[in-house]
Amino acid sequence: MRLLRYFFVGGFAAFCDVGLFSISTSYFGLPWIPVSIATFIFATFVNYFLSIRFVFQTGARHQKHIEILGVYLVSTLALLVNQAVLYFTIEQLGWHLVASKVMATGVVFFWNYFARSKFIF
């Protein structure tokens, strides 16, 4: 049940990430590398607050500041994987920016859930 709730929370955060990425790169013509980093960080923020509201019990293992730090540490690895997938699919395979972002987001979804549930919450 918790994984299902995380799927919806993660889905909403992914929607924010991909949506802001798409608008920023397609409509405003901003470069994909800094945009993908910024939207990923924003989506992590959204995901954390929705996760502690609907999925995980905050403060169960760690104090709040340690919990937030843990989320961003786990997300740092996810961001590196996200960027690697984007680079490979955009620069090497020539995929569309948004299709690449959707793929990268999907790749890191399970890592985020597993690491958060195992180490943070």
68 pLDDT band, cuts 50/70/90, is confident
1: DSSP letter: -
Query: Which domain does 108 fall in, by range?
Result: 2-120
Q: What is the pTM for the complete model shown?
A: 0.88
Q: Which tokens sit at 52?
A: 């502690």
In the chain, the number of structural domains is: 1
Torsions phi, psi for 115 (to 5 deg): -65, -40
Residues 33-49: tens digit of each pLDDT: 999 999 999 999 999 99
Q: Is the pLDDT of residue 110 over 90?
A: no
CA distance 62 to 9: 21
